[in-house]
Amino acid sequence: MNVLNAKDGLSVETLPGIRRIVMLENVPSTQEVARELAMQGEMESTLVLSLTQEAGKGRMGRTWESGPGGIYMTLVLQPSIGLRFLADLSVLAGRVTADTLGQLYGLSTRVKPPNDVYVLHPEKRKYLKIAGVLTESSSINRTSNWILLGIGVNLNNKVSLPTACGVSDILGKEVPREEFLRAFFKNFWQVYSAWEYSSESKSL
């Protein structure tokens, strides 16, 4: 596992709310790396980001294509909430991803609960999968000890599946990875804070 220096201008100063970035060249899965860090007591808001994955996972163990140019990341979170609210986080992250894609690139998106994001391909005139979310948690007394929020986005990577596509496929050009990440985390923390507060209130 090769740890890289920050690339594309990515740093804790440029990504809102991120305390540490673990930048990797290639791993089986960012989820696996983040799990190891969480079990070692790694702090909240640590972001594991890889250029490629050899065994990226989607929901129910499905494979997620992870070639060069895509977004493959897992965020370590430590909210003080009950596990029954975890499913809401997956949908929330999907909506933030969809909203960010629409905000930056003018794409028409929709979220398919619990964890898939689809985009309307203007030439094919149908919705194709462009992003997915995967959550995992560890708990103590039915309260989450840590949560792993894994997100994969087809940005500039080549996609072979006929049911999926990427941003560059639709726009006809590559887009900066750091542009998407900055906008995503700016949007995410606002929604996440509201979700955490609401979940804590319901637990009382």
Number of domains in the chain: 1
Q: In terms of C-beta density within 10 A (0-12 exposed, 13-18 middle, 19 or more buried), how is residue 40 classed? A: exposed
- HSE value, Cβ hemisphere, 13 Å, CA-based, for 50: 25
Note whether residue 56 is domain-resident: yes
| CA torsion through residues 24, 28, 31, 34, sign | negative
pTM of the model: 0.88
Note whether residue 11 is domain-resident: no
Domain that holds residue 72: 20-199
Note whether residue 3 is domain-resident: no
Task: Give the pLDDT confidence score for residue 2 in this predicted structure.
Answer: 47
Q: In terms of C-beta density within 10 A (0-12 exposed, 13-18 middle, 19 or more buried), how is residue 122 classed? A: exposed
Q: Which residue type sits at 5?
A: N
Note whether residue 4 is domain-resident: no
pLDDT tens digit at each of 204 positions of the chain: 545 555 556 788 889 999 999 999 999 999 999 999 988 887 789 999 999 988 655 544 555 567 899 999 999 998 877 667 777 889 999 999 999 999 999 999 999 998 899 999 999 999 999 999 999 887 655 556 788 999 999 999 999 899 999 999 999 999 999 999 999 999 999 999 888 877 655 554
Check if the beta carbon of residue 193 is closer than 8 Å to that of residue 81: no
Note whether residue 59 is domain-resident: yes
CATH of the domain at 89: 3.30.930.10
Task: Give the pLDDT confidence score for residue 204 in this predicted structure.
Answer: 47
Note whether residue 36 is domain-resident: yes
- Which DSSP helix (H) or strand (E) runs through 151? strand 143-153
Note whether residue 204 is domain-resident: no
Note whether residue 5 is domain-resident: no
- Residue 45 to residue 42: CA distance in whole angstroms: 9
